[in-house]
């Protein structure tokens, strides 16, 4: 686990959006998604329900 992964998780939780969190952090959306997936793999849980908005 890395601090940047936790920071990404925090921002996604606060903003309720991966894309908004990525913009806030100055990262690409795929990078933030990778951070979340690594945390999920490490803790063996799903952190967020992912839904696609129209």
Q: Where are the domains of the chain?
A: 3-43
- Angle CA 15–29–14, to nearest 5: 10
Q: In the prediction, which pLDDT does 33 show?
A: 97
What's the pLDDT at 49? Answer: 84
Residue 53 pLDDT > 80, yes or no? Answer: no
Tell me the whole-structure pTM to 2 decimals. 0.88
Give residue for tokens 């908005």. 53
Between 50 and 35, the higher pLDDT residue:
35
Report the alpha-carbon distance of residue 54 to residue 32 in Å, rounded: 21
Q: What is the pLDDT of residues 18-44, one digit of tens each?
A: 999 999 999 999 999 999 999 999 999
- List Cα–Cα distances, 44 to 7, 15, 50, in angstroms: 19, 23, 16
């Amino acid at each position: 686990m890395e601090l940047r992964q936790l920071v990404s998780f925090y921002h996604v939780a606060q903003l309720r959006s991966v894309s908004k969190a990525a913009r806030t952090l100055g990262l690409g959306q795929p990078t933030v998604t990778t951070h979340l997936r690594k945390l999920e793999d490490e803790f063996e849980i799903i952190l967020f329900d992912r839904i696609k908005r129209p």
